[in-house]
Chains A and B, each alone.
Chain A
Amino acid sequence: GIQVEQSPPDLILQEGANSTLRCNFSDSVNNLQWFHQNPWGQLINLFYIPSGTKQNGRLSATTVATERYSLLYISSSQTTDSGVYFCAVLHASGGSYIPTFGRGTSLIVHP
């Protein structure tokens, strides 16, 4: 099956700092999503981004499908950004289109 690798696995920032999270995938994908898992365990949709660039406030994401990677940018980080960020890809394996997740990047933002 398709492999999804996220880096770095852990990230510690001071409030106000910027960061870039990366998601590499081993095969062509039909779609890609970024999620933020909050301390209560809920997965919050951040971006649905099969290709191109999108921005939402302090967050933006870029997917370069031809080179099989996506980047999530967090600018002027806040303590509420803490949590785990997951990348999930939809790969048409036998027509199933099952979301496959990376292992996540755990982000801690200190005040």
Chain B
Amino acid sequence: EADIYQTPRYLVIGTGKKITLECSQTMGHDKMYWYQQDPGMELHLIHYSYGVNSTEKGDLSSESTVSRIRTEHFPLTLESARPSHTSQYLCASSELGRQAFFGQGTRLTVV
């Protein structure tokens, strides 16, 4: 079974705060992804990485940033949270061209 973990599962935070959403995988996958999803809606790719020191922006413009210093770790940071950032954030990983595995997601609420 795939092992990919996201923390926290739920987060309520005030406007203007800096937050980091954690994502780690133990499968040694090179490719990792962050998707943003509003409740009941489609998934939008916001960031992805081919491997260490590689990061790219996705189709949906996002004010978040990511880093990939280690293969297993792909954190997402919001420097100054706003209510418009309220959403679910899903992290995934895969081998190139193979099936993707998702973490449990982080539900972020910015008040």
List chain A positions with a Cβ less than 8 A from chain B.
Answer: 1, 30-31, 33, 35, 40-43, 45, 48, 84, 86, 88, 90, 92, 96-104, 106
**A43 touching B96 by the CB < 8 A rule?**
no
- The answer to whether A90 touches B97, judged by C-beta atoms less than 8 angstroms apart, is yes
B→A interface (CB under 8 Å): 2, 31, 33, 35, 37, 40-43, 45, 48, 58-59, 88, 90, 92, 94, 96-102, 104-105, 107
Q: A41-B88, A42-B102 are in contact. Are A101 and B96 (CB under 8 A)?
A: no
18 A-B contact pairs sorted by A residue (CB < 8 Å): A30-B97, A35-B102, A40-B104, A41-B37, A41-B104, A41-B107, A42-B104, A43-B90, A43-B102, A45-B2, A45-B101, A92-B97, A97-B97, A98-B58, A99-B45, A102-B42, A104-B42, A106-B40
- Which 6 A/B pairs are nearest by Cβ-Cβ distance? A48-B99, A43-B102, A103-B42, A101-B43, A41-B105, A97-B97
Question: Which A residues touch B37, using CB under 8 A?
Answer: 41
Contact yes or no, A98 B33, CB < 8 A: yes
Q: A88–B90 Cα gap in the complex (Å)? A: 14
Q: B99, A31: Cβ atoms under 8 Å? A: yes
Neighbouring A residues of B45 by C-beta, 8 Å: 98-100
Give Cα A110 to B43, complex, Å. Answer: 26
Closest to B37 in A: A41
Q: Indicate the member of A33, A35, A98, A102 with the most B CB atoms within 10 Å.
A: A98
Chain A residue numbers with a CB within 8 Å of B105 are 41-43
Q: Are A97 and B42 in contact, with the CB atoms below 8 A?
A: no
Once the chains bind, are B40 and A84 in contact (CB under 8 Å)? Answer: yes
Considering the chains assembled together, what is the distance between the CA atoms of A98 and B90 in angstroms?
A: 14
Q: Which of B31, B40, B100, B104 contacts A88 (CB 8 A)?
A: B100
Residue of B nearest to A104 (CB): B42
CA distance A2 to B64 in the complex (A): 25
CA distance A35 to B42 in the complex (A): 12
Q: A84-B40, A98-B45, A101-B43 are in contact. Are A45 and B99 (CB under 8 A)?
A: yes
- B31: which A residues are within 8 A, CB to CB? 97
A-side contacts of B35, CB under 8 Å: 101
